[in-house]
Amino acid sequence: MTALATAPETAAPAAGSRSRARRARRATALRSASFWLAAVVVVLVLLAAVAPGLLAPQDPLEISLGESFDAPSAAHVFGTDQSGRDVFSRVVHGAGQSLAIGLGATAIGLVGAIVLGLLGGLGGRLADASVTRVIEVLYAFPGILLALILIAVYGSSALTQMVAVGVATMPGYARMVRGQVLAVKGSLYVESARALGHSPARILTRTILPNAFRPLTVLVTLGVGQAIVWAAALGFLGMGVQPPTAEWGAMLNAGRTYIQQAWWMDFFPGITIVVFTLSLTVLGRHLQRAADSGASR
Amino acid sequence: MTAETTSSAPATVGPVGPVSPEEPAQPAGPGPAAPPAALLARLRASLPGRIALRVLSALVLLWAVATIVFFLQHLVPGDPALAILGGASANPPPETVAAVRAQYGFDQPLLVQYADFLGGLVRGDLGSSYTMKEPVARIIAEQIVPTLQLTGASLAIAWAIAIGSTLLTAARPGLAARIGSGLEVVLAALPHFWLGVVLLVVFAVTLQWLPVVDDGPAGLVLPALTLGVPLGGFLAQVTRDEFDAASRQPFVLSALSRGTRPGDVRWRHVLRHAALPGIALSGWGLGSLISGAVVVEVIFSRQGIGQVLVTAVTSQDLPLVIGVTFVVALVYVIANILTDLAAVAVDPRLRTSIGGAS
């Protein structure tokens, strides 16, 4: 099924079945270890988002000028920033807003994509042709460019940041929704539902939509990570939430000014984003593997 | 079915599209452009015809892009003439406002402005910047070369990583394949803003092996690595999946039985198959590099259109924003045509199959 699991078998076809079994066991163990590690990270970040006070040792906005630019130590594990605020507490308190922006952007992107994708997949040839063109045109603004245009037009704020990232993720989702709807629409089970005399509305809501959207749930797990990274990139450029609010992108932006004297101000919010998005990827793949093996059974 | 999507790191909601197996094969289905089917089929049957079609659709795409950015510009709240003169708070006299309005053509009807805008695009005139009071085309011409150097170097680094990692570890027994693919996932997940800062602090500030800011070749190393490494991780995942599949093909066994050395089989036969999806994605990859260049140029204080774009967005200098995005879209569309041609060069099968390189 996955490249990981099949590669050793093909490369060493003569290997004994016992060593193969051992290897398979090791692969499973490795996979479940990474799954649990990722799950713990995601749970911790969710906890930080819901109840930051439980994890953060200090007030994220408390200024202590005598302690500015302290390197990481036992008292401040992630160091302190230019005003002596505890970076670790700020990372913990930033989880809520960063996660909200990522989730909000993904929701915006998905809603737009579902409207476009359904229109294309179900609306007949003309609608499909137009939707395909619209997606193609949106694709011509690679990466965060679409987001940058929107920010140029509407000015930078947390709301624009979220909407802009959402719109930038939309074409990718729209393409997938459309493809899924078309694939499901042409499948045998839809044909048999039609043969059974089910009404078009019932076929749409009971058969086509659930089947078309199931693969999307996995992609959303991956997509939230992407949205958080893009939002953080915009924040890093100073186009999002403004300091001193504790938000990962805004923290990165503040740290950029002092990068040569206080590397920890950018390093720790950044690695938090890396570890969190990696964990989302690992979880997303597990979900996908589970969904795939469920489907093939 | 979803093998490709499995291999995608968070950075890949976009790229899933281009190779997405869920996308029903376009040439086979009753495509949107069915009516002049006979003519289309004749054009598609020859390589020059296919290129011509491709260029034509690219032009239509660019026209649509231009239209969107033009009308977006007019969604901006407030009077653009006031914005040019420093905002409403600057309180310029009415005759100055009228003069600026006439100079930029804001007093014309929207459709006339639109026609002027399109006419300007055809002549290579992108209007003039609100803040820098200079033609946008000249600003871009001055700044695009460093950005293209950066993205070109990054693409080369990305491919070096993808090919190196695949040749060394893909389809090999034991831990090698697992370490290789795990590493690729991590590389692909590194955001530019973090990787760039880490490289800068480690190699330029602490070790001082490389300059912090420098416009020469030494100053290109860290920015190009920052930009190229994550894309390399992504391309490597795609290449590895295909490499694994290709190494199970019968032609590998037959090449081995002819006495070809295993290393040669991997390099000359399997890799050639495995590189195809990566090549098809390179056009998209270049687009993501240009988007990433915005962040990287800011980190390393490098000259380039990314840096220009950030300043323009922050100061809401719309003609400059629109000019840069339009040029980026143009580069992106050209890159996609070129990758299609490269795919044909690598895979001779595409030369005969109709519409293969869509």
The pLDDT tens digits of the residues spanning B49-76 come to: 878 888 888 898 899 888 888 888 777 7
Which stretches of chain B are assigned E, i.e. beta strand?
A: none
Asked if residue A143 has pLDDT above 60, the reply is yes
- The reported pLDDT for the residue numbered B110 is 82
- Both B248 and B199 in one domain: the answer is yes
In-domain check, residue B238? yes
- Per residue, the 3-state secondary structure of B181-239, as one string, reads HHHHHHHHCCCHHHHHHHHHHHHHHHCCCCCCCCCCCHHHHHHHHHHHHHHHHHHHHHH
Is residue B196 within 8 Å of residue B228, measured between CB atoms?
no
Q: Is there a single domain that holds both residue B196 and residue B342?
A: yes
Which of B192, B201, B247 has its CB closest to that of A10?
A: B247
Count the helices and strands in chain A (H runs, E runs). 12, 0
B4 part of a folded domain: no
Is the domain of B172 the same as that of B218? yes
Q: For residue A2, name the pLDDT band (cuts at 50, 70, 90).
A: very low
| B71 and B183 together in one domain | no
Interface list for B 55-74 with A (CB within 8 A): 61-62, 64-65, 68-69, 72-73
Residues B305, B241, single domain; the answer is yes
The reported pLDDT for the residue numbered B88 is 59
Q: Is residue B22 part of a domain?
A: no
Dist CA B344 CA B350 (whole Å):
5
- What is the rounded average pLDDT of the residues A107-132? 90
CA distances from B285 to A114, A134, A147, A165, A174 (A): 25, 21, 18, 19, 19
Q: Which residue in the set B3, B62, B72 is minimally distant from A149, CB to CB?
A: B72
* The model's pTM: 0.82
B241 with B290, same domain?
Answer: yes
For A:108-167, CB contacts with B below 8 A are: 125, 128-129, 132-133, 136-137, 139-145, 148-149, 151-153, 155-156
Whether the CB of B194 is below 8 Å from some CB of chain A: the reply is yes
User: pLDDT class for B90, splitting at 50, 70, 90?
Assistant: low
Residue B235 lies in a domain: yes
Cβ-defined contacts of A125-128 (< 8 Å, 24+): A125/B30, A125/B32, A125/B34, A128/A178, A128/B32
Last residue of a domain, one of B122, B149, B183: B122
Say yes or no for a CB contact (<8 Å) between B10 and A226. Answer: yes
* Residue B305: band (very low, low, confident or very high) from pLDDT cuts 50, 70, 90: very high
Distance CA A79, CA A81 (A): 7
- Report if residue B7 sits inside a domain: no
Would you say residue A207 has pLDDT above 90? Answer: no
Name residues 309-338 of chain B within 8 A of A (Cβ): 309-310, 312-314, 316-318, 321-322, 325, 328-329, 332-333
Closest to B282 in 3D by CA, of B165, B151, B140: B151
Model confidence pLDDT, tens digit, residues B181-234: 889 989 999 999 999 999 999 998 888 888 777 767 778 999 999 999 999 999
For residue B78, what pLDDT band results from cuts at 50, 70 and 90? low
pLDDT band of residue A9 (cuts 50, 70, 90) is very low
Q: Is residue B307 part of a domain?
A: yes
The answer to the question of residue B262 being in a domain is yes
Same domain, B159 and B272: yes
pLDDT band of B276, cuts 50, 70, 90: confident
ipTM comes to 0.82
Closest CA to B244 of B178, B343, B339: B178
Residues B196 and B315 in one domain: yes
pLDDT reading at A28 higher than 50:
yes
pLDDT for B86: 67
For residue B135, what are the β-bridge partners?
A: B128
Question: B216 and B112: one domain?
Answer: no
Residue A29 distance to chain B (closest CA, Å): 13
- In order of A148, A149, B7, B277, the CA distances from B80 in angstroms are 19, 16, 46, 45
Q: Could you tell me the residue range of the domain that residue B89 belongs to?
A: 47-122
Q: What is the DSSP string of A37-80?
A: HHHHHHHHHHHHHH-HHHH-SS-TT---GGGTTPPS-SSSTT-B
Please judge whether A136 and B194 are an interchain contact, meaning their C-beta atoms are less than 8 angstroms apart. Answer: no
Q: Report how many domains make up chain B.
A: 2
Please give the Cα distance from B350 to B26 (Å, whole number): 15
B76 vs A171, higher pLDDT: A171
Residue B18 within a domain:
no
Q: In chain A, whose CA is at the least distance from the CA of B323? A: A149
- Residue at a domain's end among B91, B122, B153: B122
> B295 and chain A: CB distance < 8 Å anywhere?
yes
Q: Are residues B101 and B185 in the same domain?
A: no
Q: Let me know whether B140 and B116 are in one domain.
A: no
List chain B residues with CB under 8 Å of A42.
none
pLDDT exceeds 70 at position B17 = no
